[in-house]
């Protein structure tokens, strides 16, 4: 395409430069009923999956329709969202912290036409463009990352695994029949961008092989002390290596100390570790961030490894479905996934879900590992550990 | 790797315009980076920053933290941005011939 200037002059980059203006003030985009009743809401109700009503002191009502968003979306999709907002909501809409889309209307008679419009729109392949749901005790959107779409350190894909998982859990998105809300998150490497460390169920990309060393370029591309300091298990040390008869500075990796976190590759481009057969997925479970009843929890590793099986990840989605179904059938009302697992004991969790307990799941990282072992005779006999 | 020619010399650079090796740096490289980084006039303060960066890298094997760079040169971060509009990493380190900054930037 031909070059079209925006008015920016590359020869004088600092001329007419606007900076440090921050984001737009959010009140500019409030629907009138929100602006009027801000800070004066009395109560809310979930009318049906995906539809909430908020009632203000003044008696004003705000109906909110929440629909799933795929997070990575094209401009044409955004324009379609805008078109719906123009048609039904006076041009106002918002996105949630889990990347769902919320359309807001100020009277009950506007709800049904909006709902019908949203559910009538489908992708050419057959998917709902705007599936209604994500409220209450169900499974809402999956917070996820870049994966093979854009990042350079992933061990698995984000959009693909999320699509496969949401397809399997779709009934829970459009319904509210779980004991409590269940949050699923996904991160494609253990940088854990997002919320995998604090989600009810988490999908995490994982490597199983140590980095390869590109000795020829390592000292030129990398700041060696940074690569050494990046290693949580101190497996990396500086080394002199001979390349084409010349001594060059580089590093050596003690493979038996390496746990394949990939931090060194983040700091040093000459230490790649992605591997087709080696890479895959770890499943974690039992985290939460709310303070309701119990304190926030970290999620724990419950499945040590599942291979990458593009494009549908059937083994992974089967394990997730099994966990969700067992939890749904066994937990008490208001009990989050981690609350349930801790109440029945993790040994019972493995027995009920049928997940395999392996030595990989036993914490061995520094002193705090000791506190995750069992210093009590309180336990239940199960068939989960053979 | 791409190559660029400037002032009668040829440099290998990556896609972000960082030089392939610290050892291939030369004064012509400084002039080349000046031409691509939106710097009007090179002055003593530019060369002081470049000297400090090269000196620190040679001694320590890493680029200095911004606080160290500020403390050693006496330039506040705001002033560093006035000298190098792209900032200490993309601007000054590139001119000094240091490796491209890594991590979640």
Count of alpha carbons within 13 Å of A198, Cβ hemisphere only? Answer: 10
By Cβ distance, the residue of B22, B38, B103 closest to A13 is B38
Is B103–A266 a contact, with Cβ atoms under 8 angstroms apart? yes
DSSP 3-state of A269: coil
pLDDT tens profile A150-207: 999 999 999 999 999 999 999 999 999 999 999 999 999 999 999 999 999 999 999 9
Contact B102 A222 (CB under 8 A): yes
Contacts of A177 (CB under 8 A, 6+ apart): A137, A138, A328
Interface of B with A in 45-64 (CB under 8 A): 57, 60-63
Whether B99 sits inside 8 A of A226 (CB atoms) is: no
B102 at interface of A, judged by CB pairs closer than 8 A: yes
The runs of H, that is alpha helices, within chain B are: 27-36, 44-60, 66-73, 77-83, 87, 94-96
Strands A61-67 and A101-105: antiparallel
* Neighbour-count burial for A204-238, b at 16+ CB within 10 Å, e otherwise: bbbbeebbebbbebbbbbbbbebbbebbeeebbee
pLDDT in tens, chain A (386 residues): 799 999 998 888 889 999 999 999 999 999 999 999 999 999 999 999 999 999 999 999 999 999 999 999 999 999 999 999 999 999 999 999 999 999 999 999 999 999 999 999 999 999 999 999 999 999 999 999 999 999 999 999 999 999 999 999 999 999 999 999 999 999 999 999 999 999 999 999 999 999 999 999 999 999 999 999 999 999 999 999 999 999 999 999 999 999 999 999 999 999 999 999 999 999 999 999 999 999 999 999 999 999 999 999 999 999 999 999 999 999 999 999 999 999 999 999 999 999 999 999 999 999 999 999 999 999 999 987 66
Q: Do A225 and B21 touch (CB under 8 A)?
A: no
Residue A49's nearest CA partner among A184, A114, A139, A129 is A139
Distance from CA of B8 to the nearest CA of A (A): 22
pLDDT tens-digit series, residues B12-27? 999 999 999 999 999 9
Q: How far apart are CA A138 and CA A119, in angstroms?
A: 19
Q: What sign does the dihedral B44-B48-B51-B54 (CA atoms) show?
A: negative
Instruction: Confirm or reject contact between B103 and chain A (CB < 8 A).
Output: yes
DSSP string, A244-265: TTEEEEEEEE-GGG-----HHH
Residue numbers in B near A239 (CB within 8 A): none
Nearest CA in chain A to B83: A14
Contact A220 B104 (CB under 8 A): no
B22/A226 touch (CB, cutoff 8 Å), yes or no: no
Contact with chain B for residue A225, Cβ under 8 A: yes
Q: Does A226 touch chain B (CB under 8 A)?
A: yes
CA distance B22 to chain A (A): 7
Structure-block tokens of residue A278: 């080696």
For the annotated catalytic residues of B, the residue numbers are: 104
Question: How far, in Å, CA of A75 to CA of A127, rounded?
Answer: 18
Q: Tell me if chain B has a CB within 8 Å of the CB of A221.
A: yes
């Amino acid at each position: 395409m031909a070059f079209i200037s925006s008015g920016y002059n590359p020869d004088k980059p600092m001329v007419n430069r606007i900076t440090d203006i921050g984001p737009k003030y959010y009140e500019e985009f409030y629907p009138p009923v929100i602006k009027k009743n801000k800070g004066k809401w009395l109560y809310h109700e979930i009318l049906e999956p995906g539809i909430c009503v908020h009632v203000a002191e003044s008696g004003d009502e705000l109906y909110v329709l929440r629909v799933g968003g795929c997070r990575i979306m094209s401009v044409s999709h955004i324009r379609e969202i805008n078109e719906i907002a123009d048609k039904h909501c006076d041009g106002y809409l918002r996105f949630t912290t889990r990347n769902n889309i919320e359309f807001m209307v100020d009277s009950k008679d506007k709800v049904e036409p909006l709902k019908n419009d949203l559910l009538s729109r489908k992708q050419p392949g057959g998917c709902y463009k705007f599936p209604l749901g994500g409220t209450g005790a169900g499974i809402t959107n999956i917070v996820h990352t870049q994966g093979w779409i854009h990042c350079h350190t992933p061990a698995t894909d984000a959009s693909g695994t999320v699509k496969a998982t949401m397809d399997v859990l779709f009934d829970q998105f459009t319904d509210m029949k779980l004991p409590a809300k269940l949050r699923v998150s996904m991160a494609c490497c253990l940088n854990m961008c997002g919320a995998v460390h604090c989600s009810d169920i988490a999908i995490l990309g994982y490597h199983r092989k140590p980095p390869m060393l590109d000795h020829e370029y390592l000292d030129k591309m990398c700041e060696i002390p940074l690569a050494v300091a990046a290693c949580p298990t101190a497996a990396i040390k500086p080394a002199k290596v001979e390349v084409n008869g010349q001594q060059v500075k580089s590093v050596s990796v003690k493979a038996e100390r390496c746990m394949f976190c990939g931090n060194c590759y983040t700091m040093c481009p000459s230490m790649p570790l992605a591997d087709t057969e080696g890479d895959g997925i770890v499943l974690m479970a039992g985290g939460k961030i709310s303070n309701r009843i119990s304190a926030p929890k970290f999620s724990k590793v419950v499945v040590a490894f599942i291979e990458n099986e593009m494009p549908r990840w059937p083994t992974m989605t089967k394990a997730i479905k099994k966990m969700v179904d067992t939890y749904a059938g066994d937990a008490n009302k208001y009990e989050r996934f981690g609350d349930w697992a801790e109440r029945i004991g993790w040994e019972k969790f493995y027995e009920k879900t049928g997940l395999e307990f392996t030595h990989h799941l036993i914490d061995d990282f520094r002193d705090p590992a000791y506190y995750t072992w069992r210093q009590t005779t309180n336990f239940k006999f199960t068939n989960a550990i053979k | 790797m791409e190559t660029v020619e400037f002032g009668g010399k040829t440099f290998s650079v990556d896609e972000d315009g960082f030089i392939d090796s610290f050892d291939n740096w030369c004064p012509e490289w400084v002039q080349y980076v000046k031409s691509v980084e939106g710097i009007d006039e090179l002055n003593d303060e530019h060369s002081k920053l470049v000297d400090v960066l090269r000196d620190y890298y040679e001694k320590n094997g890493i680029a200095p933290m911004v606080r160290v760079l500020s403390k050693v040169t006496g330039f506040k971060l705001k002033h560093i941005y006035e000298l190098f509009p792209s900032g200490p990493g993309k601007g000054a380190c590139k001119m000094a011939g240091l490796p491209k900054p890594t991590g979640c930037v």
